[in-house]
Structure 1
Amino acid sequence: MSGDGTADGAADFDPVAFLADAVRIESHESPDAMREFLVETLADHGTEPRVDAAGNVRATREAADPQAAAEGTHLVLNTHVDTVPPHVGFERGTDEDGTDVFRGRGSCDAKGPLAALLSGFLGVEPATGRVTLAVTPDEETLSTGADALVRGRDDDHPDGPVEPVDGDVYLVGEPTDCDVCVAARGRFEGTLTLSGSAAHAAEPTSGVDAVAALEGALAAIRAFDDGAEAHPMLGGPTLVATGVDGGEATNQVAAEATLTLDRRSVPPETADGFREALETAVRDAVAADVGVAFALTERPTPFLEAFDTDPDHEVVSAVADAARAVGGEADGEVRAFGAATEASYFAPAPTVVFGPGHLADDVGAVAHSEREYVRVDRVRDAAASVERAVATLVA
Structure 2
Amino acid sequence: MPFHRYRPRLPGGELAPMPWPVSLYRIMNHVAWPLEAESGRWTVLLDRVMIFLGFLVFCEHNEVDFHYLIANRQDMDNLLTGMPTYLILVELQIRCFQLAWHKDRFRALLQRFYAEIYVSEEMEPLLFARIQRQMLATRVNSTVYLLTLFNFFLVPVTNVIYHRREMLYKQVYPFDNTQLHFFIPLLVLNFWVGFIITSMLFGELNVMGELMMHLNARYVQLGQDLRLSAQRLLKRSSSLNVATGYRLILTHILRRNAALRDFGQRVEEEFTLRIFVMFAFSAGLLCALFFKAFTNPWANVVYIMWFLAKFMELLALGMLGSTLLKTTDELGMMYYTANWEQVIHQSDNVGENVKLMKLVTLAIQLNSRPFFITGLNYFRVSLTAVLKIIQGAFSYFTFLNSMR
Asked if Structure 1 and Structure 2 have the same fold, meaning a TM-score greater than 0.5 normalized by the shorter chain, the answer is no
| Structure showing greater Rg | 2
TM-score bracket relative to the smaller structure: under 0.3
TM-score normalised over the length of structure 2:
0.20
| Between structures 1 and 2, the one with greater helix share | 2
Kindly indicate whether structure 1 or structure 2 has the higher relative contact order, using CA contacts under 8 Å at least 6 residues apart: 1
| Between structures 1 and 2, the one with greater strand share | 1
